[in-house]
Structure 1
């Protein structure tokens, strides 16, 4: 299994968690609450956690191949970029 993680620093982290999970749930299984979310893509999974104290959204992605993991990362990046039009967010993935 391959894993990667990132921290998205934003005062809108809680809103991003809710909006991303709600949006993805239209096409793939997703469940969420105010603090956590999980999205099950066909190629892998993504877990989101709202870190309220630090205004960050922690994201952990997993897949059974590096190619599939890269696809999950790309999907998440595209949607965060779409949602964050009013702020610039740089996503740096850490393997592991």
Structure 2
């Protein structure tokens, strides 16, 4: 398994977590609260966590080629919601 973890420092972590989860729920299985979320993508399950300090997204992936795809899915969608903060990409590790 390959672990992908992204962080985004923002005071709006809970807001963005909920927006991402609501958006993804139109196509995949999603469960979420104001501070935690789980999104079951075809390539793996993403776990989201929001605190006063920011948003964290983690996913265990089976193949190395899925890492870039996962980063793009999260970053592309988060950019739509965090545009007022000039969001470009999460810090990935």
TM-score, length of structure 2 as denominator length: 0.90
Gaps of 5+ in 1: none
Number of residue pairs matched? 92
Runs of 4+ in 1 over 4 A off after TM superposition: none
Partners of 1:33 and 1:57 in 2: how far apart?
Answer: 13
Partners of 1:31 and 1:70 in 2: how far apart?
Answer: 24
Equivalent residue number for residue 73 of structure 1: 71
Partners of 2:51 and 2:41 in 1: how far apart?
Answer: 23
Partners of 1:28 and 1:72 in 2: how far apart?
Answer: 14
Shift of 1:69: 2.5
Gaps of 5+ in 2: none
Equivalent residue number for residue 20 of structure 2: 20
Shift of 1:68: 1.6
Higher strand share: 2
Shift of 1:26: 0.4
Q: CA RMSD in A?
A: 1.2
